[in-house]
Chains A and B, each alone.
Chain A
Amino acid sequence: MPAANITSCTPGSLVLIPNFHFPDKIKPKYCITLESWNNGHDDIIAVLTTHNLKHRTWKGAVFVPKGTIGLPEDSLIMCHNPKILKKQYFRKAIYKNEIPPEVLAEVLKNLKLGHIDPFLVLRVRGITKFP
């Protein structure tokens, strides 16, 4: 599962997206996407808006609490595969900040961090202790 860019990733690719704007109550700093992504710039922005999340434009989004897979901030996993994530889980994830353990396990199983460029990891985690 190689690192890839947002427009050319293939199924199973992992892309880390530093976040920009987010809802008032849920402020994940990073999004992690699974599966292929065929959209353009507008949709990258759409990932970052409350409106699109609330209207379920996206097939799936999983809230990942701070600390999971080493993330320093609350995060979202965006997922386009209905087999991995169902709509009811999506709604729950968005509105209650929760994720069913079996869903999280399924998603995290696909996150092979060893294939990610250290650059991306540094980019999203930042320097955790200074000095």
Chain B
Amino acid sequence: MTRIQSVGLYLLAKYGKEAGTIELNKLFYLVDVASYRLFGKTVSGTEYIRAEKGPYSRSISRELCLLEGKQIRRETKPSKGYSSFPKVAWSVVEGAAAESDLAPVEQELITQVLDKVKGLTPQELERLSYRTEPMLHIVDEEKKASCPLLQEPLDFKDIERDGFMQEFMSNLTRPISEEEREQIEYYNKEWEEVELMLQGS
């Protein structure tokens, strides 16, 4: 399974509803921007271009299509808006998230991004993507050139890094062992139980 497929499965499963292609691209992009800001690399590993409706990656649809009929569902529906193009709705089958092989830190990142965008419309997601540094930069360049720079790649190096995380990551002395990973996962489950108990009381 590729990185894009793993991210797609987990993201769609946690999103909890169908996502249109543009919506899905924006979600991928916002996750990758957040990841780059914190860790200096994207989760999906894909590259984005400046498209008419903001950041876009051709690879996302292409790679997720390969899982169609297995973990991914893709339905074509008539557009509700003014577009004459039909809408493609992406979703996942039940249990698909478990097949994603993302690291816990990547899963946590996606969960936190989805929490931030909960309830936003696709248009609001698009507006949010325009407030990221790579989009701000290219829009600025467009103003200077007085023409749209469609298809131009977006440069993630424009993203302002999180200083603390940058220092933290550079000080990481060794990777976490499998044993420690198991302990952390155990602790997380335990913590969820405690939260449920507190909510119950």
Contact = CB atoms under 8 A, between A and B. Distances in A.
B169 A118 contact: yes
B105 A127 contact: no
Given A5-B183, A119-B103, 13 more contacts: A4-B180, A5-B187, A41-B194, A45-B197, A45-B198, A115-B173, A117-B104, A117-B184, A122-B105, A122-B112, A130-B30, A131-B33, A131-B129
Contacts of B191: 6, 17-18, 44
A70 interface: yes
Interface in A7-40: 7-8, 15, 17-18, 20-21
A126 interface: yes
Interface of B: 30, 33-34, 37-39, 103-105, 108-109, 112-113, 116, 128-129, 131-132, 160, 162, 164-165, 168-169, 171-174, 176-177, 180-181, 183-184, 186-187, 190-191, 193-195, 197-198
A95 B82 CA distance: 61
B126 to A, nearest CB: 12
A122 B109 CA distance: 8
Given A3-B180, A7-B190, A126-B112, A118 B162 contact: no
B123 to A, nearest CB: 15
Nearest to B162: A128
